[in-house]
Amino acid sequence: MRENNTIEPLPCTLLPSPVPAKLLRFVENIQADFNLLYHKVSLDHEFIESILKHVIPQDDYTAHLWKIYMNTRSEGVLQGVFLGLTRSDYMLHLDPAKERSNPTLAQRLLHTEQASAFAPDFSGENSWPNLSVRQVELNFIATSFGGLAQRMVLQHRLALSLCGFPPSAGERVPDCSAGDKFADALALAQKIYQERRNELCGETGNGSSHPAVLTIVSEQEKNIYDQRVTLSCLLLRHPNIPILVRSFEQFQENSDRLKIDEKRRLFVDGEEIAVVYYRHGYTPEHFSNDEIWNVKYQLERSLAIKCPCIQYMLVNTKLIQAALTKPENLSRFVHPASASYRNLLSTFAAQYPLSEKFGINSLDEINRVVQKCLANPHLYVLKPQREGGGNNYFGEDVPRMLRSVFDNGVSESYVLMERLYPYVVENYILNTPNSTERKKIVGELGIFGAFIGCGEKIFLNEQAGHLLRSKPVEANEGGVAAGFGCLDSPFLV
């Protein structure tokens, strides 16, 4: 939705785009491992502090999150149940040195028409010798497009039929139930909240039998329809759960709307809240004053289950992600002899925090990679250490920004990452200028995850569907809601 309240359809591809079936299956299978890994990290105070303590003085946003975390920790974390609705994003990286050296690869992935001539291969050991899976990032807050990805499946199956593909082609667009699975996870969290509330409060009759899910949104939300699809799934599948939609600013304007009782139960407009579901609150711009930060703190200290909790927000940074690419850090949380360890490690792209203080890279390593980057900027991406999207530097912007980072003494706040080059396919992008022209695009594959845990006790851990976002090959960023990309679906090859 535009700022003037008019509707703007999201761009999407006409047809699903070719994706290797084997690689999709691989990233689906390891999503539960990623869910559990980051849950374990979120419980390790010593590890989190060792990584983030040097960036806190440099980054006001991270400092505020850390303050909330420490204050709630000192007061006593009353709600130990953590809910994660996550998405792990990958690129299927084609080594620039090899490019399209394999003609069969080029034929199978060039566009949907050619891909349809090849049966999907789930098992071949060397089906895609030049392609490797590389994780771009893991998202814990305001994880988007689960509901719309679920709807894209039917749209693309219909498009294949209308464009004359045989009925079997539609079967190669895999099912996606991300909206439903997110809704079911929210409902399970609501049930767990009631059980835990009764245990902690020592009562069974005084609490609400239908505590609500509170969804925190922006007052100027553009991605409103994706949010409403997920909430619609919750309403249709679990109609007894009330849903409230509020903004931080509404609580700032009238603090009486948000109440926490002596047992730290959260009430909004008189409704008891079981789950706080954040679709907003992940960049500094979302916290324009101390009053809004205080609203965040009050929500965090309450008995309600947060999605995500403050611990998940702290581990959802580039620095933690970079630290886990080191085998010695990953083995702290995953047994090094396990298949999970090998699979996770195989997806990590090279990442270099630009300060030796974090204990991730030595000063010599950092100096070497900086010199390589200055000589070959096309091989690297410069990223801020926190999440948010749309804040990365590419190509000739990298050396300029890199010098600025060091000149201004803010190297602790940035990470240099190996640039990934996904294979190029051809497709049509609807709802854009020249939508009748076939364009060269590249894709980013996301796997949704749903996780609920309390310490070592796991209530839910599953992969929850997929998302394919594509963008014109000349575009660097890929956020659909930010205007950089379009919604797509995999066509299995």
Catalytic residue among 35, 42, 127, 139: 139
Catalytic residue among 318, 361, 427, 465: 318
87 annotated active-site = yes
Catalytic residue among 387, 426, 439, 446: 387
Catalytic residue among 22, 87, 157, 301: 87
**What element of type H or E holds 214?**
strand 212-216
318 belongs to an annotated ligand binding site: yes
Catalytic residue among 222, 388, 462, 479: 388
40 annotated active-site = no
Catalytic residue among 17, 144, 302, 329: 144
Q: 243: buried, middle or exposed (CB in 10 Å: 19+, 13-18, 0-12)? A: middle
d(CA 275, CA 297): 15
357 annotated active-site = no
388 belongs to an annotated ligand binding site: yes
276's tokens: 């706080």
Catalytic residue among 329, 426, 469, 489: 469
d(CA 435, CA 428): 6
Catalytic residue among 383, 411, 449, 489: 383
Residues sharing a CB contact under 8 Å with residue 489, sequence separation 6 or more, in sequence order: 13, 16, 17, 149, 152, 153, 155, 156, 173, 176, 468
139 annotated active-site = yes
How many other C-beta atoms lie within 10 A of the C-beta of residue 68?
21
Q: 493: buried, middle or exposed (CB in 10 Å: 19+, 13-18, 0-12)? A: buried
135 belongs to an annotated ligand binding site: no
Dihedral angle at the C-alpha atoms of 213, 76, 282, 340, nearest 10 degrees? -90
Residues sharing a CB contact under 8 Å with residue 140, sequence separation 6 or more, in sequence order: 38, 84, 86, 308, 312, 313, 315, 316, 387
385 belongs to an annotated ligand binding site: yes
137 annotated active-site = yes
387 annotated active-site = yes
384 belongs to an annotated ligand binding site: yes
Q: Are 160 and 208 in contact (CB under 8 A)?
A: no
383 belongs to an annotated ligand binding site: yes
262 annotated active-site = no
5 annotated active-site = no
391 belongs to an annotated ligand binding site: yes
Phi, psi of 294, deg, nearest 5: -70, -35
Calculate the alpha carbon distances from 138 to 50, 91, 316, 488 in Å.
20, 12, 7, 19
- β partners of residue 243: 213
387 belongs to an annotated ligand binding site: yes
Q: 411: buried, middle or exposed (CB in 10 Å: 19+, 13-18, 0-12)? A: buried
438 belongs to an annotated ligand binding site: no
d(CA 178, CA 188): 15
Q: Please give the full DSSP string across 239-289, using - where no structure is assigned.
A: TTS-EEEE-HHHHHH-GGGEEE-TT--EEETTEEEEEEEESS--SGGG--S
d(CA 76, CA 253): 28
296 belongs to an annotated ligand binding site: no
d(CA 310, CA 332): 22
389 belongs to an annotated ligand binding site: yes
Active site residues: 87, 137, 139, 144, 318, 383, 387-388, 469
The annotation places the binding site for substrate at: 227, 469
The annotation places the binding site for ATP at: 318, 383-392, 444, 471, 477
The annotation places the binding site for Mg(2+) at: 387
